[in-house]
Structure 1
Amino acid sequence: MGPYQQQVDAVGGSLGWSALVSVVPLAVVLVLLGVLRTRAHWAALAGLAASLVVAIAGYGMPVVPALSSAAHGAVFGFFPILWIVINALWVFNMTVATGHFEILRESFGALSDDRRTQAILVAFCFGALLEALAGFGAPVAITSVMLVALGFAPIRAAVVALVANTAPVAFGAMAVPVITLAQVSGLPLELVASVVGRQTPVLALFVPLVLVFLVDGRRGLRQAWVPALTCGVVFAVGQFVTSNFLSVPLTDIVATLLAAFAVVVLGRLRPDAPWAARRPSIAAGGPGTATAPAARGEMFRAFLPYLLIVAVFSLAQLPGIKPLLDKAVVKFHWPGLDVLTPAGKPHSTTTFSLTYLTTAGTLMLIAGLIVVPLLGVGVGRALRSYRDTLVNLRWAILTVMAVLALAYVMNASGQTTSIGMFVAGLGGALVVLSPVLGWFGVAVSGSDTSSNALFGSLQVTAAHGSGLPPHLLAAANSSGGVLGKMLSPQNLTIAAVSVRLDGQEGVLLRKVIGWSLGMLLVLAALIGLQATPVLGWMLP
Structure 2
Amino acid sequence: MTWTQNYDPMGSLLMSTVVALIPIVYFFWALAIKKMKGHIAGLTTVALTVVIAIFAYGMPAGMAVTSTVFGGFTGLWPIGWIVINAVFLYKLTVKSGQFDVIRSSISSLTTDRRLQVLLIAFSFNGFIEGAAGFGTPVAISAALLVGLGFRPLFAAGLCMIANTAPVAFGGIGIPLITAAKTTGLPVAEIAGVAALQLGIMGLIVPFWVIVAMAGFRGAMEVLPAILVSGITFGVTMWATGTFVGPELPAIAASIVSLVALALFLKVWHPKSIFLFADEGQEKKGTNVSYSLGQVIKAWSPFIVLTGFIIVWAMPAIKTAMRTLNVVIPVEGLNKLVIQAAPIVAKPTPYAAVYTFDWLAAAGTGILLAAFLSMFLVRMSFGDWIRLYGQNLKELMYPLITISCVLGFAFIANYSGMSATMGLAAAKSGKVFPFMAPILGWLGVFLTGSDTSSCALFGNLQKITAEQIGVNPVLTVAGNATGGVAGKMISPQSLAVAAGATGLVGQESEIFRYTLKHSIPMVLLISLMTYVMSLMM
The 1-side partners of 2:172 and 2:483 are apart by 7
Compute the displacement of 1:425 (Å). 0.6
Q: Is the 8 A contact 1:167 1:201 kept in 2?
A: no
What is residue 523 of structure 1 aligned with on the other side?
525
Instruction: Give 2:528's aligned amino acid.
Output: L
Partner of 2:332: 336
| Aligned-partner residue type, residue 309 of structure 2 | F
CA distance in 2, matches of 1:138, 1:333: 33
Deviates more, 1:368-377 or 1:448-457: 448-457
**SS of structure 2 residue aligned to 1:166:** helix
**Alignment correspondent of 2:486:** 481
Q: Distance in 2 between matches of 1:25 and 1:515?
A: 22
**Kept in 2: contact 1:177–1:449 (CA 8 A):** no
Could you tell me whether the CA contact under 8 Å between 2:179 and 2:455 is conserved in 1? Answer: yes
Going from structure 1 to structure 2, the CA distance change for 1:169 and 1:207 (only over 3 Å counts) comes to: closer
1:331 alignment partner, SS class:
strand
CA distance in structure 2 between the aligned counterparts of 1:135 and 1:393, rounded to whole angstroms:
17
Partners of 1:518 and 1:413 lie apart in 2 by 30
What's the % identity of the aligned pairs?
24
The question of 1:34 aligning with 2:32 is answered yes
1:306 maps onto 2:305 in alignment: no
Distance 1:186 1:71 in 2: 27
Among 350, 353, 367, the alignment partner of 2:352 is 350
Q: Residue 393 of structure 1 corresponds to which residue in structure 2? A: 395
Hey, what's the Cα distance between the residues in 2 that align with 1:219 and 1:76? 42
Separation in structure 1 between the aligned mates of residue 520 and residue 337 of structure 2, nearest angstrom? 42
Structure 1 gap ranges (5+): 149-153, 279-283, 535-540
Contact 1:349 1:411 in 2 (8 A): no
Residue 3 of structure 1: CA displacement? Answer: 0.9
Whether 1:109 aligns to 2:97 is: no
**Superposition pairs of residues 463-502 of structure 1, within 5 angstroms:** 463-464=461-462, 466-467=464-465, 468-469=472-473, 471-482=476-487
The code of the aligned residue for 2:262 comes to V
Q: Which amino acid aligns with 2:3?
A: Y
Q: Per-residue deviation at 1:304?
A: 1.6
Residue pair 1:455, 1:477 contacting (<8 A) in 2 also: no
* CA displacement at 1:391 relative to structure 2: 1.9
Give the Cα–Cα distance (whole angstroms) in 2 for the partners of residues 107 and 466 of structure 1: 52
Asked whether the 8 Å contact 1:22–1:418 carries over to 2, the reply is yes
Deviations 1:228-285 (A, max 9, x none): 222223334566688896996x9867654543322222344xx3x444999xxxxx99
Counterparts of 1:442-457 in structure 2 under 5 Å? Answer: 450=448
Deviations 1:350-378 (A, max 9, x none): 23345443221222222222222112122
Write the mapping of 1:57-76 to structure 2, written as runs, cut at 5 A: 57-76=55-74
Q: Which amino acid is the alignment partner of residue 296 of structure 2?
A: F
> Do 1:171 and 1:252's aligned partners in 2 also have CA atoms closer than 8 Å?
yes
From the superposition, tell whether residues 430 and 46 of structure 1 become closer, same or farther in structure 2 (CA, over 3 Å).
farther
Q: Is 2:288 the counterpart of 1:289?
A: no
Query: 1:376 maps to which residue?
Result: 378
How far did 1:90 drift? 1.5
Change (3 A) 1:130 1:316: closer
State the 1:118 CA deviation.
4.6
CA distance in 1, matches of 2:56, 2:154: 44
1:408 aligned partner: 410
Paired residue for 2:20, among 7, 19, 22? 22
Matching residue of 1:362:
364
2:78 aligns to what?
Answer: 80
For 1:185 and 1:414, the matched residues in 2 are separated by: 22
Q: Distance in 1 between matches of 2:136 and 2:364?
A: 15
Equivalent position SS for 2:9 = coil
Corresponding residue for 1:167? 162
**1:9–1:18 CA contact under 8 A, matched in 2:** yes
Taking the TM superposition and a 5 Å limit, the aligned residue runs for 1:62-211 are 62-112=60-110, 117-118=115-116, 120-121=118-119, 124-125=122-123, 134=136, 139=141, 143=145, 146=148, 162-163=157-158, 165-169=160-164, 187=182, 194=191, 199-210=197-208
Partner of 2:468: none
In structure 1, what is the equivalent of residue 226 of structure 2?
228
1:362 and 1:333 map into 2 onto residues whose CA distance is 23
Decide whether aligned partners of structure 1 residues 276 and 111 sit closer, same or farther in structure 2, where only a CA change above 3 A counts: farther
Q: Is the 8 A contact 1:432 1:525 kept in 2?
A: yes
- Contact 1:181 / 1:449 at 8 angstroms: preserved in 2? no
- State whether residues 340 and 346 of structure 1, in contact with CA within 8 Å, keep that contact through their aligned partners in structure 2: yes
Does structure 1 conserve the Cα–Cα contact (< 8 Å) formed by 2:308 and 2:369?
yes
CA shift in 2, pair 1:532/1:308, >3 Å: farther
The one-letter code matched in structure 1 to 2:72 is A
Relative distance call for 1:409 and 1:124 in structure 2 (3 A) is closer
Bigger Cα displacement from structure 2, 488-497 vs 370-379? 488-497
Preserved contact between residue 185 and residue 474 of structure 1 (Cα < 8 Å):
no
* Structure 2 residue identity aligned to 1:168: N
* 1:487-512: CA deviation from partner (whole Å, max 9, x where unpaired): x99999999999xxx9xx79x96xx9
Letter in 2 for 1:9: D
Question: How far is the alpha carbon of 1:336 from its aligned partner?
Answer: 0.6
* Corresponding residue to 1:51 among 49, 52, 56: 49
Is residue 156–residue 498 contact of structure 2 (8 Å, CA) maintained in 1? no
Per the alignment, do residues 322 and 441 of structure 1 end up closer, same or farther by CA in structure 2, a change over 3 Å counting? Answer: closer
Instruction: Give the aligned partner of residue 266 of structure 1.
Output: 264
Q: 1:147 to 1:417 in 2, by over 3 A?
A: same
Q: Deviations over 1:457-481 (max 9, x none)?
A: 6644652552255632431342222
| 1:7 aligned partner | 6
- Equivalences, count: 503
Secondary structure at 1:10 match in 2: coil
Instruction: Describe the SS at the equivalent of 1:7.
Output: coil
Q: Structure 1's 424 and 351: CA in aligned 2 closer, same or farther, altered over 3 A?
A: same
Question: 1:423 pairs with 402, 422, 425, which one?
Answer: 425
Residues 314 and 483 (structure 1), Cα distance of their counterparts in 2 relative to 1, 3 Å cut: closer
Contact 1:419 1:458 (8 Å CA) reproduced: no
Q: TM-score, normalised by structure 2?
A: 0.76
Alpha-carbon deviation of 1:299?
Answer: 0.5
Structure 2: gaps spanning 5 or more residues: 274-278, 466-471
Structure 2: which amino acid aligns with 1:304? S
Q: CA RMSD in A?
A: 4.8
Q: Secondary structure at the match of 1:294?
A: coil
Alpha-carbon separation, structure 2, partners of 1:96 and 1:129: 22
Give the secondary-structure state (helix, strand or coil) at the position aligned to 2:428.
helix
- CA spacing shift, 1:180–1:129, aligned 2, 3 Å: closer
Alpha-carbon distance in 2 for matches of 1:254, 1:101: 27
Of 112-121 and 126-135, deviating more is 126-135
TM-score normalized by the length of structure 1:
0.75
